[in-house]
Amino acid sequence: MEIVYLTFILMLSIFLGFELISKVPATLHTPLMSGANAISGITLVGAVLAAGADHGGFAEFLAALAVITASVNVVGGYMVTNRMLAMFKKKDSSSGAGR
Amino acid sequence: MSTEYLINLAYIAAAILFIFGLKQLGSPATARRGNLLSAVGMALAVFVTLFSSQILSYSTIIICVLIGGGIGAYAAEKVEMTAMPEMVAIFNGTGGMASLLVGWVALFGAQVDGFTAFTIALSVIIGGVTFTGSLIAYAKLSERMDGKPIVFDAQRMVNAGIIAAIVILAYLFIQNPSSSSSALWLLVVLAFVFGVMAVIPIGGADMPVVISLLNSYSGLAACAAGFAIDNNLLIVAGSLVGSAGIILTNIMCKAMNRSLANVLFSGFGAVKHSTKQTEGEVKPISVEDAYLILEAASNVMFVPGYGMAVAQAQHAVRELAENLEDNGAEVSFAIHPVAGRMPGHMNVLLAEANVPYDQLIEMDDANPRMDLVDVAIVIGANDVVNPAANEDESSPIYGMPVIEVPRARTVFVLKRGMAAGFSGVDNPLFFGENTRMLFGDAKESITGLVAEFKD
Protein backbone atom coordinates (compact mmCIF):
# COMPACT_ATOMS: atom_id res chain seq x y z
CA MET A 1 0.00 0.00 0.00
CA GLU A 2 2.91 2.28 0.81
CA ILE A 3 4.11 2.07 -2.81
CA VAL A 4 0.73 3.06 -4.18
CA TYR A 5 0.55 5.95 -1.78
CA LEU A 6 4.00 7.28 -2.72
CA THR A 7 3.28 6.85 -6.41
CA PHE A 8 0.09 8.81 -5.93
CA ILE A 9 2.08 11.69 -4.47
CA LEU A 10 4.57 11.42 -7.31
CA MET A 11 1.89 11.65 -9.97
CA LEU A 12 0.19 14.66 -8.40
CA SER A 13 3.47 16.55 -7.98
CA ILE A 14 4.47 15.94 -11.57
CA PHE A 15 1.20 17.45 -12.78
CA LEU A 16 1.58 20.32 -10.35
CA GLY A 17 5.09 20.95 -11.68
CA PHE A 18 3.82 21.11 -15.25
CA GLU A 19 1.11 23.56 -14.26
CA LEU A 20 3.49 25.77 -12.30
CA ILE A 21 6.18 26.10 -14.94
CA SER A 22 4.34 26.08 -18.23
CA LYS A 23 3.80 29.84 -18.41
CA VAL A 24 7.20 31.19 -17.43
CA PRO A 25 8.51 33.90 -19.78
CA ALA A 26 11.77 33.23 -21.62
CA THR A 27 13.46 36.06 -19.72
CA LEU A 28 13.37 33.95 -16.59
CA HIS A 29 14.39 30.60 -18.02
CA THR A 30 17.90 30.67 -16.57
CA PRO A 31 16.94 31.74 -13.03
CA LEU A 32 14.05 29.29 -13.11
CA MET A 33 16.39 26.50 -14.07
CA SER A 34 18.95 27.34 -11.45
CA GLY A 35 16.27 27.92 -8.81
CA ALA A 36 14.65 24.59 -9.61
CA ASN A 37 18.09 23.03 -9.50
CA ALA A 38 18.57 24.35 -5.97
CA ILE A 39 15.29 22.69 -4.99
CA SER A 40 16.57 19.39 -6.35
CA GLY A 41 19.19 19.69 -3.61
CA ILE A 42 16.35 18.56 -1.31
CA THR A 43 18.19 15.29 -1.35
CA LEU A 44 20.24 17.02 1.38
CA VAL A 45 17.46 15.94 3.77
CA GLY A 46 18.17 12.32 2.89
CA ALA A 47 21.89 12.91 3.14
CA VAL A 48 21.56 14.44 6.61
CA LEU A 49 19.49 11.48 7.82
CA ALA A 50 22.10 9.08 6.47
CA ALA A 51 25.05 10.98 7.89
CA GLY A 52 23.48 11.18 11.34
CA ALA A 53 22.75 7.49 11.54
CA ASP A 54 26.29 6.65 12.61
CA HIS A 55 26.71 3.74 10.22
CA GLY A 56 30.46 4.03 10.49
CA GLY A 57 32.99 2.88 7.93
CA PHE A 58 32.27 3.11 4.23
CA ALA A 59 28.61 4.06 4.68
CA GLU A 60 29.62 6.99 6.82
CA PHE A 61 32.01 8.11 4.10
CA LEU A 62 29.29 7.89 1.42
CA ALA A 63 26.87 9.78 3.62
CA ALA A 64 29.40 12.50 4.38
CA LEU A 65 30.10 12.92 0.67
CA ALA A 66 26.35 13.09 0.05
CA VAL A 67 25.96 15.90 2.58
CA ILE A 68 28.86 17.83 1.03
CA THR A 69 27.65 17.53 -2.56
CA ALA A 70 24.03 18.27 -1.65
CA SER A 71 25.06 21.36 0.35
CA VAL A 72 27.08 22.65 -2.61
CA ASN A 73 23.96 22.23 -4.71
CA VAL A 74 21.60 23.89 -2.24
CA VAL A 75 23.70 26.82 -1.05
CA GLY A 76 25.32 27.52 -4.40
CA GLY A 77 22.05 27.12 -6.29
CA TYR A 78 20.04 29.53 -4.17
CA MET A 79 22.81 32.12 -3.96
CA VAL A 80 23.55 32.17 -7.65
CA THR A 81 19.85 32.38 -8.50
CA ASN A 82 19.47 35.28 -6.12
CA ARG A 83 22.46 37.01 -7.68
CA MET A 84 20.99 36.68 -11.14
CA LEU A 85 17.53 37.81 -10.14
CA ALA A 86 18.95 40.89 -8.41
CA MET A 87 20.09 42.05 -11.85
CA PHE A 88 16.66 41.93 -13.47
CA LYS A 89 15.26 45.43 -13.32
CA LYS A 90 12.41 47.33 -14.86
CA LYS A 91 13.08 50.40 -16.90
CA ASP A 92 12.57 53.21 -14.35
CA SER A 93 14.57 51.60 -11.58
CA SER A 94 17.57 50.99 -13.79
CA SER A 95 17.99 54.32 -15.56
CA GLY A 96 21.13 56.01 -14.42
CA ALA A 97 22.43 52.90 -12.73
CA GLY A 98 25.86 51.83 -13.83
CA ARG A 99 26.72 55.00 -15.66
CA MET B 1 6.56 8.98 17.09
CA SER B 2 5.35 12.47 17.82
CA THR B 3 8.59 14.14 16.66
CA GLU B 4 8.39 12.23 13.38
CA TYR B 5 4.84 13.46 13.11
CA LEU B 6 5.88 17.07 13.61
CA ILE B 7 8.75 16.67 11.17
CA ASN B 8 6.34 15.50 8.51
CA LEU B 9 4.04 18.44 9.20
CA ALA B 10 7.03 20.74 8.67
CA TYR B 11 7.76 18.91 5.41
CA ILE B 12 4.28 19.82 4.23
CA ALA B 13 5.03 23.46 5.01
CA ALA B 14 8.33 23.17 3.11
CA ALA B 15 6.55 21.66 0.11
CA ILE B 16 4.08 24.56 0.12
CA LEU B 17 6.97 27.03 0.21
CA PHE B 18 8.60 25.28 -2.76
CA ILE B 19 5.36 25.43 -4.71
CA PHE B 20 4.78 29.12 -4.05
CA GLY B 21 8.45 29.79 -4.66
CA LEU B 22 8.33 28.18 -8.09
CA LYS B 23 5.08 29.95 -8.87
CA GLN B 24 6.62 33.35 -8.07
CA LEU B 25 9.74 32.52 -10.09
CA GLY B 26 7.42 32.78 -13.07
CA SER B 27 7.23 36.56 -13.11
CA PRO B 28 10.14 39.02 -13.13
CA ALA B 29 8.52 41.22 -10.47
CA THR B 30 8.17 38.45 -7.88
CA ALA B 31 10.97 36.10 -8.90
CA ARG B 32 13.44 37.16 -6.24
CA ARG B 33 10.91 36.68 -3.47
CA GLY B 34 10.00 33.32 -4.95
CA ASN B 35 13.58 32.15 -4.76
CA LEU B 36 13.77 33.34 -1.17
CA LEU B 37 10.56 31.48 -0.27
CA SER B 38 11.92 28.28 -1.68
CA ALA B 39 15.22 28.81 0.19
CA VAL B 40 13.24 29.24 3.42
CA GLY B 41 11.41 26.01 2.63
CA MET B 42 14.73 24.25 2.16
CA ALA B 43 16.16 25.65 5.41
CA LEU B 44 13.04 24.57 7.27
CA ALA B 45 13.16 21.06 5.82
CA VAL B 46 16.82 20.55 6.71
CA PHE B 47 16.40 22.09 10.16
CA VAL B 48 13.50 19.89 11.25
CA THR B 49 15.25 16.83 9.87
CA LEU B 50 17.95 17.36 12.50
CA PHE B 51 15.42 16.40 15.18
CA SER B 52 14.72 13.02 13.65
CA SER B 53 15.24 10.06 15.94
CA GLN B 54 17.32 8.45 13.21
CA ILE B 55 20.05 10.97 13.86
CA LEU B 56 22.46 9.86 16.52
CA SER B 57 25.40 12.20 16.01
CA TYR B 58 25.73 15.65 14.57
CA SER B 59 29.45 16.04 14.05
CA THR B 60 29.62 14.64 10.51
CA ILE B 61 26.54 16.58 9.45
CA ILE B 62 27.76 19.92 10.71
CA ILE B 63 31.27 19.60 9.30
CA CYS B 64 30.04 18.44 5.89
CA VAL B 65 27.31 21.08 5.59
CA LEU B 66 29.89 23.74 6.38
CA ILE B 67 32.33 22.38 3.79
CA GLY B 68 29.72 21.95 1.06
CA GLY B 69 27.91 25.18 1.84
CA GLY B 70 31.20 27.06 1.86
CA ILE B 71 32.21 25.70 -1.53
CA GLY B 72 28.77 26.48 -2.97
CA ALA B 73 28.68 30.00 -1.56
CA TYR B 74 32.19 30.77 -2.77
CA ALA B 75 31.46 29.51 -6.28
CA ALA B 76 28.13 31.36 -6.44
CA GLU B 77 29.73 34.65 -5.42
CA LYS B 78 32.78 34.42 -7.65
CA VAL B 79 31.30 33.18 -10.90
CA GLU B 80 31.19 35.56 -13.85
CA MET B 81 27.78 36.01 -15.44
CA THR B 82 29.19 34.81 -18.77
CA ALA B 83 30.20 31.58 -17.04
CA MET B 84 26.68 30.97 -15.73
CA PRO B 85 25.85 27.99 -18.01
CA GLU B 86 28.78 25.94 -16.75
CA MET B 87 28.07 26.96 -13.14
CA VAL B 88 24.48 25.72 -13.42
CA ALA B 89 25.80 22.52 -14.98
CA ILE B 90 28.16 21.92 -12.05
CA PHE B 91 25.48 22.51 -9.42
CA ASN B 92 23.26 20.11 -11.32
CA GLY B 93 25.99 17.51 -11.23
CA THR B 94 26.53 17.78 -7.48
CA GLY B 95 22.80 17.33 -6.91
CA GLY B 96 22.82 14.17 -9.03
CA MET B 97 25.85 12.84 -7.16
CA ALA B 98 24.17 13.49 -3.81
CA SER B 99 21.09 11.52 -4.87
CA LEU B 100 23.26 8.64 -6.05
CA LEU B 101 24.98 8.54 -2.67
CA VAL B 102 21.74 8.83 -0.68
CA GLY B 103 20.33 5.89 -2.61
CA TRP B 104 23.47 3.89 -2.04
CA VAL B 105 23.61 4.54 1.70
CA ALA B 106 19.99 3.41 2.03
CA LEU B 107 21.38 -0.11 1.63
CA PHE B 108 23.27 0.03 4.89
CA GLY B 109 21.80 -0.79 8.26
CA ALA B 110 18.44 -1.95 6.97
CA GLN B 111 16.92 -4.89 5.18
CA VAL B 112 15.64 -3.69 1.80
CA ASP B 113 12.78 -5.23 -0.12
CA GLY B 114 12.50 -5.59 -3.88
CA PHE B 115 10.79 -2.29 -4.53
CA THR B 116 13.26 -0.32 -2.42
CA ALA B 117 16.11 -2.04 -4.21
CA PHE B 118 14.54 -1.01 -7.50
CA THR B 119 14.37 2.64 -6.42
CA ILE B 120 17.93 2.50 -5.11
CA ALA B 121 19.05 1.22 -8.50
CA LEU B 122 17.10 4.05 -10.15
CA SER B 123 18.64 6.75 -7.99
CA VAL B 124 22.11 5.36 -8.62
CA ILE B 125 21.56 5.22 -12.38
CA ILE B 126 19.89 8.63 -12.79
CA GLY B 127 22.16 10.29 -10.26
CA GLY B 128 25.27 8.89 -11.89
CA VAL B 129 24.22 9.89 -15.39
CA THR B 130 23.37 13.37 -14.12
CA PHE B 131 26.74 13.69 -12.43
CA THR B 132 29.09 12.78 -15.27
CA GLY B 133 26.74 14.20 -17.91
CA SER B 134 26.87 17.55 -16.13
CA LEU B 135 30.64 17.37 -15.84
CA ILE B 136 30.96 16.85 -19.59
CA ALA B 137 28.48 19.67 -20.21
CA TYR B 138 30.60 21.82 -17.90
CA ALA B 139 33.78 20.91 -19.79
CA LYS B 140 32.17 21.72 -23.12
CA LEU B 141 30.63 24.99 -21.96
CA SER B 142 33.79 26.24 -20.30
CA GLU B 143 35.75 25.19 -23.39
CA ARG B 144 37.97 22.85 -21.45
CA MET B 145 36.78 20.41 -24.07
CA ASP B 146 36.02 20.90 -27.74
CA GLY B 147 32.37 21.90 -28.18
CA LYS B 148 32.04 19.88 -31.38
CA PRO B 149 30.00 16.69 -31.26
CA ILE B 150 32.18 13.64 -30.68
CA VAL B 151 30.88 10.85 -32.87
CA PHE B 152 32.35 7.54 -33.87
CA ASP B 153 31.18 4.65 -35.98
CA ALA B 154 29.82 2.12 -33.53
CA GLN B 155 28.50 4.75 -31.13
CA ARG B 156 24.91 3.56 -31.16
CA MET B 157 25.99 -0.04 -30.73
CA VAL B 158 28.21 0.87 -27.80
CA ASN B 159 25.47 2.91 -26.14
CA ALA B 160 22.91 0.16 -26.66
CA GLY B 161 25.39 -2.24 -25.08
CA ILE B 162 25.85 -0.01 -22.06
CA ILE B 163 22.09 0.35 -21.60
CA ALA B 164 21.62 -3.40 -21.84
CA ALA B 165 24.36 -3.96 -19.28
CA ILE B 166 22.78 -1.40 -16.96
CA VAL B 167 19.41 -3.15 -17.17
CA ILE B 168 20.96 -6.56 -16.50
CA LEU B 169 23.04 -5.31 -13.57
CA ALA B 170 20.05 -3.52 -12.09
CA TYR B 171 18.10 -6.78 -12.32
CA LEU B 172 20.90 -8.75 -10.65
CA PHE B 173 21.15 -6.17 -7.91
CA ILE B 174 17.40 -6.18 -7.23
CA GLN B 175 17.48 -9.99 -6.98
CA ASN B 176 20.05 -9.79 -4.26
CA PRO B 177 20.26 -6.31 -2.79
CA SER B 178 23.06 -5.88 -0.30
CA SER B 179 25.62 -3.25 0.49
CA SER B 180 28.37 -5.59 -0.68
CA SER B 181 26.71 -6.28 -4.02
CA SER B 182 29.28 -6.13 -6.80
CA ALA B 183 26.46 -5.54 -9.29
CA LEU B 184 25.82 -2.22 -7.58
CA TRP B 185 29.44 -1.15 -7.94
CA LEU B 186 29.36 -1.97 -11.62
CA LEU B 187 26.07 -0.15 -11.91
CA VAL B 188 27.64 3.00 -10.47
CA VAL B 189 30.55 2.77 -12.89
CA LEU B 190 28.33 2.14 -15.90
CA ALA B 191 26.00 5.01 -14.96
CA PHE B 192 29.05 7.28 -14.92
CA VAL B 193 30.20 5.97 -18.28
CA PHE B 194 26.76 6.37 -19.78
CA GLY B 195 26.53 9.99 -18.59
CA VAL B 196 29.72 10.72 -20.51
CA MET B 197 28.60 8.84 -23.60
CA ALA B 198 25.22 10.57 -23.62
CA VAL B 199 26.62 14.09 -23.70
CA ILE B 200 29.77 13.88 -25.85
CA PRO B 201 27.87 13.54 -29.17
CA ILE B 202 25.92 16.74 -28.51
CA GLY B 203 27.26 19.96 -29.95
CA GLY B 204 27.68 23.32 -28.23
CA ALA B 205 24.65 24.90 -29.92
CA ASP B 206 22.40 22.16 -28.55
CA MET B 207 23.56 22.75 -24.99
CA PRO B 208 20.37 24.56 -23.90
CA VAL B 209 18.51 21.29 -24.43
CA VAL B 210 21.10 19.23 -22.59
CA ILE B 211 21.25 21.54 -19.59
CA SER B 212 17.48 21.57 -19.17
CA LEU B 213 17.37 17.81 -19.54
CA LEU B 214 20.11 17.29 -16.94
CA ASN B 215 18.22 19.68 -14.69
CA SER B 216 15.22 17.44 -15.02
CA TYR B 217 17.32 14.35 -14.29
CA SER B 218 18.68 15.85 -11.08
CA GLY B 219 15.08 16.27 -9.90
CA LEU B 220 14.17 12.73 -10.91
CA ALA B 221 17.24 11.40 -9.12
CA ALA B 222 16.14 13.15 -5.92
CA CYS B 223 12.70 11.69 -6.47
CA ALA B 224 14.07 8.16 -6.80
CA ALA B 225 16.15 8.68 -3.67
CA GLY B 226 12.94 9.79 -1.95
CA PHE B 227 11.33 6.45 -2.79
CA ALA B 228 14.44 4.63 -1.59
CA ILE B 229 14.32 6.23 1.86
CA ASP B 230 10.52 6.64 2.09
CA ASN B 231 10.59 10.41 2.22
CA ASN B 232 7.60 12.32 0.85
CA LEU B 233 9.34 15.66 0.61
CA LEU B 234 12.09 14.31 -1.64
CA ILE B 235 9.46 12.84 -3.90
CA VAL B 236 7.43 16.05 -4.11
CA ALA B 237 10.35 18.45 -4.56
CA GLY B 238 12.18 16.08 -6.90
CA SER B 239 9.22 15.62 -9.20
CA LEU B 240 8.49 19.36 -9.26
CA VAL B 241 12.03 19.92 -10.53
CA GLY B 242 11.79 16.95 -12.85
CA SER B 243 8.68 18.25 -14.57
CA ALA B 244 10.04 21.82 -14.70
CA GLY B 245 13.12 20.53 -16.49
CA ILE B 246 11.05 18.54 -18.95
CA ILE B 247 8.98 21.61 -19.84
CA LEU B 248 12.11 23.67 -20.46
CA THR B 249 13.59 20.87 -22.54
CA ASN B 250 10.44 20.77 -24.59
CA ILE B 251 10.46 24.55 -25.13
CA MET B 252 14.09 24.37 -26.30
CA CYS B 253 13.38 21.52 -28.71
CA LYS B 254 10.38 23.30 -30.17
CA ALA B 255 12.50 26.41 -30.68
CA MET B 256 14.79 24.34 -32.86
CA ASN B 257 11.98 22.41 -34.51
CA ARG B 258 13.65 19.15 -33.58
CA SER B 259 12.55 16.24 -31.51
CA LEU B 260 14.36 15.43 -28.31
CA ALA B 261 15.53 12.17 -29.85
CA ASN B 262 17.00 14.08 -32.75
CA VAL B 263 18.96 16.39 -30.45
CA LEU B 264 20.24 13.54 -28.31
CA PHE B 265 21.14 11.03 -30.98
CA SER B 266 22.33 12.89 -34.03
CA GLY B 267 25.45 14.98 -34.39
CA PHE B 268 24.16 18.16 -36.01
CA GLY B 269 25.30 19.02 -39.53
CA ALA B 270 26.60 15.54 -40.12
CA VAL B 271 23.13 14.51 -41.22
CA LYS B 272 22.68 16.32 -44.50
CA HIS B 273 24.02 19.27 -46.36
CA SER B 274 22.14 21.94 -48.20
CA THR B 275 22.19 21.40 -51.94
CA LYS B 276 21.63 25.07 -52.60
CA GLN B 277 24.67 27.24 -53.11
CA THR B 278 24.34 30.64 -51.61
CA GLU B 279 25.13 33.25 -54.17
CA GLY B 280 25.64 36.94 -54.01
CA GLU B 281 27.99 39.51 -52.77
CA VAL B 282 28.86 40.42 -49.23
CA LYS B 283 28.61 44.14 -48.59
CA PRO B 284 30.88 45.30 -45.82
CA ILE B 285 30.28 48.56 -44.00
CA SER B 286 32.53 50.76 -41.89
CA VAL B 287 31.75 51.91 -38.36
CA GLU B 288 31.39 55.50 -39.60
CA ASP B 289 28.81 54.61 -42.26
CA ALA B 290 26.97 52.36 -39.83
CA TYR B 291 26.78 55.28 -37.42
CA LEU B 292 25.19 57.50 -40.06
CA ILE B 293 22.46 54.96 -40.71
CA LEU B 294 21.88 54.38 -36.99
CA GLU B 295 21.65 58.09 -36.31
CA ALA B 296 18.78 58.38 -38.76
CA ALA B 297 17.00 55.28 -37.43
CA SER B 298 13.92 55.58 -35.26
CA ASN B 299 13.45 51.91 -34.50
CA VAL B 300 16.41 49.67 -33.73
CA MET B 301 16.31 46.00 -32.80
CA PHE B 302 19.28 44.12 -31.41
CA VAL B 303 19.47 40.38 -32.01
CA PRO B 304 22.16 38.92 -29.75
CA GLY B 305 23.64 35.44 -29.93
CA TYR B 306 26.38 33.42 -28.31
CA GLY B 307 28.98 35.61 -30.02
CA MET B 308 27.93 38.50 -27.81
CA ALA B 309 28.75 36.41 -24.74
CA VAL B 310 32.10 35.36 -26.19
CA ALA B 311 33.05 38.96 -27.02
CA GLN B 312 31.74 40.12 -23.60
CA ALA B 313 29.99 42.85 -25.56
CA GLN B 314 26.84 43.15 -23.41
CA HIS B 315 27.92 46.31 -21.57
CA ALA B 316 28.96 48.05 -24.79
CA VAL B 317 25.65 47.01 -26.33
CA ARG B 318 23.71 48.55 -23.45
CA GLU B 319 25.68 51.78 -23.87
CA LEU B 320 24.89 51.88 -27.57
CA ALA B 321 21.23 51.21 -26.80
CA GLU B 322 21.17 54.15 -24.39
CA ASN B 323 22.76 56.43 -26.95
CA LEU B 324 20.19 55.35 -29.52
CA GLU B 325 17.38 56.07 -27.08
CA ASP B 326 18.79 59.47 -26.24
CA ASN B 327 18.80 60.03 -29.97
CA GLY B 328 15.05 59.37 -30.01
CA ALA B 329 15.04 55.83 -31.36
CA GLU B 330 12.92 53.01 -30.01
CA VAL B 331 15.19 50.16 -28.93
CA SER B 332 14.35 46.52 -28.34
CA PHE B 333 16.25 43.27 -27.96
CA ALA B 334 14.84 40.27 -29.77
CA ILE B 335 15.90 37.05 -28.12
CA HIS B 336 15.59 33.64 -29.70
CA PRO B 337 14.77 30.88 -27.20
CA VAL B 338 17.95 28.96 -27.99
CA ALA B 339 20.32 31.90 -28.43
CA GLY B 340 23.37 31.20 -26.29
CA ARG B 341 24.31 28.10 -24.40
CA MET B 342 21.46 27.73 -21.91
CA PRO B 343 17.79 28.69 -21.78
CA GLY B 344 17.55 32.44 -21.23
CA HIS B 345 21.32 32.94 -21.48
CA MET B 346 21.08 36.27 -23.36
CA ASN B 347 18.52 37.63 -20.91
CA VAL B 348 20.85 37.09 -18.00
CA LEU B 349 23.79 38.75 -19.76
CA LEU B 350 21.74 41.78 -20.76
CA ALA B 351 20.25 42.03 -17.29
CA GLU B 352 23.80 42.03 -15.94
CA ALA B 353 24.54 44.98 -18.23
CA ASN B 354 21.52 46.81 -16.77
CA VAL B 355 19.24 46.44 -19.76
CA PRO B 356 15.69 46.63 -18.34
CA TYR B 357 13.78 43.39 -18.87
CA ASP B 358 10.82 45.14 -20.52
CA GLN B 359 13.08 45.87 -23.49
CA LEU B 360 13.75 42.17 -24.01
CA ILE B 361 11.20 40.64 -26.33
CA GLU B 362 10.64 37.07 -27.38
CA MET B 363 10.83 35.85 -30.95
CA ASP B 364 7.06 35.57 -31.34
CA ASP B 365 6.68 39.25 -30.46
CA ALA B 366 9.69 40.37 -32.45
CA ASN B 367 8.69 38.95 -35.82
CA PRO B 368 5.33 40.76 -36.22
CA ARG B 369 6.98 44.13 -35.61
CA MET B 370 9.98 43.46 -37.85
CA ASP B 371 8.51 45.49 -40.76
CA LEU B 372 8.65 48.61 -38.60
CA VAL B 373 12.31 48.13 -37.71
CA ASP B 374 14.75 50.49 -39.40
CA VAL B 375 17.92 48.72 -38.34
CA ALA B 376 18.28 45.21 -36.99
CA ILE B 377 21.69 44.65 -35.42
CA VAL B 378 22.73 41.00 -35.31
CA ILE B 379 25.49 40.47 -32.77
CA GLY B 380 27.21 37.13 -32.83
CA ALA B 381 24.06 35.26 -33.82
CA ASN B 382 23.89 33.08 -36.89
CA ASP B 383 21.58 30.09 -37.04
CA VAL B 384 18.79 31.84 -35.15
CA VAL B 385 18.56 34.51 -37.87
CA ASN B 386 19.22 32.25 -40.85
CA PRO B 387 16.48 32.77 -43.48
CA ALA B 388 17.34 29.38 -44.97
CA ALA B 389 15.36 27.90 -42.10
CA ASN B 390 12.24 29.37 -43.70
CA GLU B 391 13.11 29.17 -47.37
CA ASP B 392 15.49 26.37 -48.21
CA GLU B 393 13.92 22.96 -47.77
CA SER B 394 17.24 21.22 -48.19
CA SER B 395 18.84 23.17 -45.36
CA PRO B 396 19.63 21.12 -42.25
CA ILE B 397 17.91 23.73 -40.11
CA TYR B 398 14.83 23.96 -42.33
CA GLY B 399 11.69 24.43 -40.25
CA MET B 400 13.41 25.96 -37.24
CA PRO B 401 11.62 29.19 -36.27
CA VAL B 402 14.01 32.12 -36.68
CA ILE B 403 13.99 35.85 -36.06
CA GLU B 404 13.16 37.25 -39.48
CA VAL B 405 15.66 40.10 -39.64
CA PRO B 406 15.74 40.39 -43.47
CA ARG B 407 12.34 42.09 -43.23
CA ALA B 408 13.87 45.02 -41.39
CA ARG B 409 14.85 47.96 -43.58
CA THR B 410 18.56 47.47 -42.96
CA VAL B 411 20.40 44.63 -41.24
CA PHE B 412 23.82 45.00 -39.68
CA VAL B 413 25.62 41.76 -39.01
CA LEU B 414 28.52 41.99 -36.59
CA LYS B 415 30.86 39.15 -37.29
CA ARG B 416 34.51 38.28 -37.00
CA GLY B 417 34.85 36.88 -40.48
CA MET B 418 32.99 34.86 -43.07
CA ALA B 419 33.06 31.48 -41.33
CA ALA B 420 29.80 29.50 -41.26
CA GLY B 421 27.88 29.32 -37.99
CA PHE B 422 28.06 26.59 -35.43
CA SER B 423 25.94 24.16 -37.36
CA GLY B 424 28.17 24.60 -40.37
CA VAL B 425 25.27 25.94 -42.43
CA ASP B 426 25.64 28.75 -44.95
CA ASN B 427 23.68 31.81 -44.06
CA PRO B 428 22.04 33.61 -47.03
CA LEU B 429 21.36 36.55 -44.72
CA PHE B 430 24.97 37.66 -45.20
CA PHE B 431 24.37 38.04 -48.91
CA GLY B 432 21.03 39.80 -48.52
CA GLU B 433 20.15 42.95 -50.45
CA ASN B 434 19.73 45.03 -47.30
CA THR B 435 22.47 43.37 -45.25
CA ARG B 436 25.67 45.17 -44.32
CA MET B 437 28.50 43.27 -42.69
CA LEU B 438 30.37 45.01 -39.89
CA PHE B 439 33.48 42.86 -39.64
CA GLY B 440 35.64 42.73 -36.55
CA ASP B 441 35.37 42.04 -32.85
CA ALA B 442 31.77 42.73 -31.78
CA LYS B 443 32.80 44.61 -28.68
CA GLU B 444 35.21 46.85 -30.56
CA SER B 445 32.70 47.59 -33.30
CA ILE B 446 30.00 48.52 -30.80
CA THR B 447 32.39 50.61 -28.73
CA GLY B 448 33.37 52.37 -31.98
CA LEU B 449 29.70 53.16 -32.67
CA VAL B 450 29.25 54.49 -29.15
CA ALA B 451 32.28 56.74 -29.64
CA GLU B 452 30.77 58.08 -32.85
CA PHE B 453 27.58 58.95 -30.98
CA LYS B 454 29.56 60.80 -28.34
CA ASP B 455 31.39 62.98 -30.87
CB contact under 8 A, B248 and A32: yes
Judge residue B265's burial from the number of C-beta atoms within 10 Å of its C-beta, 0-12 exposed, 13-18 middle, 19 or more buried. middle
DSSP B277: P
pLDDT of residue B269: 39
Alpha carbons within 13 angstroms on the beta-carbon side of residue A89 total 18
DSSP A6-71: HHHHHHHHHHHHHHHHTT--GGGHHHHHHHHHHHHTTHHHHHHHHHHT---HHHHHHHHHHHHHHH
The Cα B202–Cα B218 span in angstroms is 19
Q: Categorize the per-residue pLDDT at A98 as very low, low, confident or very high, splitting at 50, 70 and 90.
A: very low
Asked if A50 and B52 come within 8 Å (Cβ–Cβ), the reply is: no
* Among A17, A29, A59, beta carbon nearest to B239: A17
Residue contact A76–B75, C-beta within 8 A: yes
Is residue B355 within 8 A of residue B318, CB to CB? The reply is yes
pLDDT above 60: residue A69: yes
pLDDT of residue B425: 61
Q: B272: closest CA among B162, B398, B371, B377?
A: B398
Set of chain A residues whose Cβ sits within 8 Å of the Cβ of B246: 18
10-residue mean pLDDT series, chain B (455 residues): 88 95 91 96 96 89 96 94 89 96 89 90 96 94 82 84 95 90 93 93 84 93 94 94 91 85 62 53 86 92 91 92 92 91 89 90 92 92 87 81 92 78 69 88 91 87
Which chain A residues touch B88 with a CB distance below 8 Å? Answer: 30, 33-34, 37, 80
What backbone phi and psi angles, to 5 degrees, belong to B411? -120, 125
Domain boundaries, chain A: 25-88
Residues facing B410 on adjacent strands: B375
Residue-level pLDDT at B424:
55
Which pLDDT score is estimated for A95?
43
Report the residue of A19, A34, A42 to disrupt the B interface, i.e. the one with the largest count of B CBs within 10 Å.
A42
pLDDT > 80? residue A3: yes
**CA–CA separation, B101 and B225 (whole Å):** 9
Do the chains contact at A69 and B21, CB–CB below 8 Å? no
* Nearest CB to B94 within list A9, A69, A82: A69
Q: Which residue has the higher pLDDT, B427 or A35?
A: A35
Q: Using a CB-CB distance cutoff of 8 angstroms, which residues of chain A are in contact with residue B89? A: none
Tell me how far apart the alpha carbons of residues B43 and B207 are, in angstroms, rounded to a whole number.
31
Interface predicted TM-score (ipTM): 0.91
How close A65 gets to chain B, by Cα (Å)? 7
Q: What rounded mean pLDDT belongs to chain A?
A: 87
Contact A40 B215 (CB under 8 A): yes
SS3 B248: helix
Please give the domain boundaries of chain B with CATH numbers for all domains.
79-265 (no CATH), 287-454 (3.40.50.1220)
Q: How confident is the model at residue A1 (pLDDT cuts 50, 70, 90)?
A: low
